[in-house]
């Protein structure tokens, strides 16, 4: 079995490797490709343009030719998956889509944290769509100044800032907090005011496993 993750930040490799180990996914299964230029171009444009989405789609489809599932870990680029899936029978998934489905499953008040302005719209749309079928309410919040810390390499400050925002959300009545970007995953263990926030690394990889096994049951052999 081969699951390939497409990242836009090198640091997310360790995040997904840790999530894979926790799920019992062997190191030989998970593979990584990093394309920071795709997120940089989107941030420069201020939105996911048609051209960037098309380039992302091409990358995803190419990766699908050499594996059993592809996981796009960048929430900003997430909408590109919709087109990519029509060009291959290999599952191509958004890590944050699995996160949204898991977050709204129990209903209640879901607070989603984001750090990058360009991810606010696609993340909001994804979670609001998921909530419609689950009876949950969703609030999507930007965490001010967090992304500047991330880009400066201050991971401790970045994760602490995300954790503090999650703590405030729980104090304000959130049933569950979802960390909308994969880079936030390390903050989950720092939160004590409520349940550990959900992360796209764990939920995304679990969804990829389920998708591969589902294909195998239908006669597609992942090896």
Rounded average pLDDT over 117-135 = 89
Tell me whether residue 161 is in a domain.
yes
**Token representation of residue 192:** 């004590």
CATH number assigned to the domain comprising residue 48: 3.40.50.1860
Domain identity same for 185 and 211: no
pLDDT band (50, 70, 90) for residue 88: confident
Query: Which of 36-45, 59-68, 168-177, 214-223 shows the lowest mean pLDDT across its residues?
Result: 214-223
Tell me whether residue 222 is in a domain.
no
Q: State the pLDDT at residue 85.
A: 66
Domain identity same for 82 and 127: no
The candidate with the shortest Cα–Cα distance to 166, out of 198, 135, 134, is 198
Percent helix, percent strand, percent coil in the chain, to nearest 5: 55, 15, 30
Span 192-208, pLDDT tens digits: 999 999 999 999 999 99
Asked if 64 and 42 touch (Cβ cutoff 8 Å), the reply is no
pLDDT above 80 for 220: no
**Token representation of residue 52:** 């960037």
Tell me whether residue 101 is in a domain.
yes
Q: State the pLDDT at residue 87.
A: 65
Domain identity same for 65 and 101: no
Rounded average pLDDT over 137-156 = 95
pLDDT above 80 for 52: yes
Tell me whether residue 16 is in a domain.
yes
Q: State the pLDDT at residue 217.
A: 60
Tell me whether residue 26 is in a domain.
yes
pLDDT above 80 for 219: no
**To the nearest whole number, what is the mean pLDDT of the chain?**
90
CA distance 9 to 2: 21
Coil/strand/helix, residue 10: coil
Q: State the pLDDT at residue 132.
A: 87
Tell me whether residue 115 is in a domain.
yes
Domain identity same for 101 and 89: no
Domain identity same for 83 and 144: no
Domain identity same for 77 and 23: yes
Tell me whether residue 223 is in a domain.
no
> Could you give the C-alpha distances from 75 to 13, 40, 50, in angstroms and in order?
15, 13, 16
Tell me whether residue 112 is in a domain.
yes
Range of the domain at 161: 97-199
- Please give the residue that has the higher pLDDT: either 104 or 215: 104
Asked if 41 and 68 touch (Cβ cutoff 8 Å), the reply is no
Rounded average pLDDT over 69-97 = 87
Task: Please give the tally of structural domains in the chain.
Answer: 2
Rounded average pLDDT over 64-75 = 92
């Amino acid at each position: 079995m081969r699951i390939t993750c497409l990242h836009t930040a090198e640091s997310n490799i360790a995040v997904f490797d840790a999530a894979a180990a926790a799920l019992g996914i062997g190191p030989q299964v998970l593979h990584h490709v990093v394309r920071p230029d795709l997120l940089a171009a989107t941030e420069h444009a201020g939105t996911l343009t048609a051209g960037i989405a098309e380039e992302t789609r091409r990358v995803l489809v190419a990766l699908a030719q050499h594996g059993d599932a592809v996981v796009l870990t960048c929430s900003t680029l997430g909408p590109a998956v919709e087109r990519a899936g029509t060009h291959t029978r290999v599952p191509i998934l958004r890590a944050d889509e699995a996160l949204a489905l898991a977050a709204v499953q129990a209903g209640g008040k879901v607070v989603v944290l984001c750090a990058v302005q360009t991810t606010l719209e696609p993340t909001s749309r994804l979670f609001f769509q998921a909530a419609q079928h689950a009876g949950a309410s969703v609030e999507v919040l930007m965490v001010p100044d967090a992304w500047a810390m991330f880009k400066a390499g201050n991971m401790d400050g970045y994760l602490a800032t995300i954790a503090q925002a999650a703590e405030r959300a729980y104090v304000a009545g959130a049933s569950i907090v979802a960390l909308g970007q994969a880079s936030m995953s390390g903050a989950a263990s720092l939160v004590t005011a409520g349940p550990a926030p959900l992360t796209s690394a764990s939920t995304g990889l679990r969804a990829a496993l389920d998708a591969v096994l589902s294909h195998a049951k239908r006669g597609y052999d992942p090896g």
